[in-house]
Amino acid sequence: MFKVFWSVLHRDLLLAMRRRTDVLTTLFFFVIVVSLFPLGVGTEHAVLRVLGPGVVWVAALLASMLALERLFAADYEDGTLEQLLLTDQPLVLLTLAKVTAHWLLTGLPLVLIAPLVGMQYRLTDTAVAVMMVSLLLGTPVLSLIGAIGAALTLGLRGGGILLALLILPLYIPVLVYGAGAVTVGALAFGDARPYLTLLAAFLVAALALAPFASSAALRISIE
């Protein structure tokens, strides 16, 4: 069973490594969006420090959502997805593997780039640390929930904008606690613990439930 998981994961990562620009596009989108805000609202340190957590998290939401379109699309177009559905392996596991690959390619880079973004917003060192942990816990939830939307909008005209409409409202809890953790944890890491614990709880719940919903959605979209 784990072999199936690994082989799908390995395949998706290999495919992505052959086309590295796709991964970098998401990352640069994130960096550009975050860099635009100081130009729009002014570069006063006090303002930036207040806006920073929210802006970074909203940018992370948008970046992960834009990347979702590619989660199943390529496999859907060339028929691989249909073959995956026809195998006798549990679809939940296959979906989970695809989502994991997607997170490793789009979520993890955001976590790693966070210190750089934190510098732009003059965040304190502890705030940057909290931001990295919160992104580490929160972005997988975004990928897991987003996969449901990506599966539902598979192959539709105007799928991208529709996906945004469906998924962004569901991202709210992650946004609230992710950005809240960074704001609260600006002085001491321990202050952010309740927020981070709740994010971890979201992650566990999403891991347990979301793959079932997205594999059900895949079955609906491909009949």
Partner 1 sequence: MTLSWSRFASPATFYPLAGRLIPVFWVLAAALILLAFYWGFFETPDQLGGSNAQKGYYRIIFIHVGTAWMSMWLYGMLVLWAAVGLVFKTRLSFMMANAIAPTGAIFTFLALWTGAIWGRPSWGTYWDWDPRLTSELILFFLYVGYIALHSAIDDSRRADRAASLLAIVGLVMVPVIFWSINCPDPNQCAALHQRSGLGKVDGNILFAMLTMTLGFWMYSFATTLMRLRGIILTREAETTWVQDLLRSEGRPA
- In the complex, the residues that contact partner 1 under the rule CB under 8 A are 148-149, 152-153, 156-158, 162, 165-166, 168-170, 172-173, 176-177, 180, 184, 194-195, 202, 209, 213, 216-217, 220-221, 223
Alpha-carbon span 80 to 127, nearest angstrom:
43
Alpha-carbon span 71 to 125, nearest angstrom:
34
Is the Cβ of residue 28 or residue 212 nearer to partner 1 in the bound state? 212
The DSSP result for 111-133, as a single string, is HHHHHHHHHHTT--HHHHHHHHH
CA distances from 153 to 40, 75, 131, 159, 221 (A): 33, 14, 31, 6, 8
Task: Report the nearest approach of partner 1 to the CB of residue 3 (Å).
Answer: 29
Residue 1 gets which letter from DSSP? -
Two tokens, residue 90: 């549990």
Task: Report the nearest approach of partner 1 to the CB of residue 223 (Å).
Answer: 7
CB atoms within 10 A of CB 161: 8
Is the Cβ of residue 108 or residue 176 nearer to partner 1 in the bound state? 176
Is the Cβ of residue 41 or residue 172 nearer to partner 1 in the bound state? 172
Task: Report the nearest approach of partner 1 to the CB of residue 80 (Å).
Answer: 20
Task: Report the nearest approach of partner 1 to the CB of residue 108 (Å).
Answer: 24
Is the Cβ of residue 61 or residue 152 nearer to partner 1 in the bound state? 152
Task: Report the nearest approach of partner 1 to the CB of residue 41 (Å).
Answer: 19
Is the Cβ of residue 113 or residue 198 nearer to partner 1 in the bound state? 198
Helices (H) and strands (E) in the chain, counts: 9, 0
Is the Cβ of residue 18 or residue 157 nearer to partner 1 in the bound state? 157
Task: Report the nearest approach of partner 1 to the CB of residue 109 (Å).
Answer: 26
CB atoms within 10 A of CB 131: 30
Task: Report the nearest approach of partner 1 to the CB of residue 217 (Å).
Answer: 6
Is the Cβ of residue 40 or residue 169 nearer to partner 1 in the bound state? 169
Taking alpha carbons only, the member of 117, 105, 139, 113 closest to residue 23 is 105
Phi then psi for residue 99, to 5 deg, are: -65, -40
Phi then psi for residue 8, to 5 deg, are: -65, -45
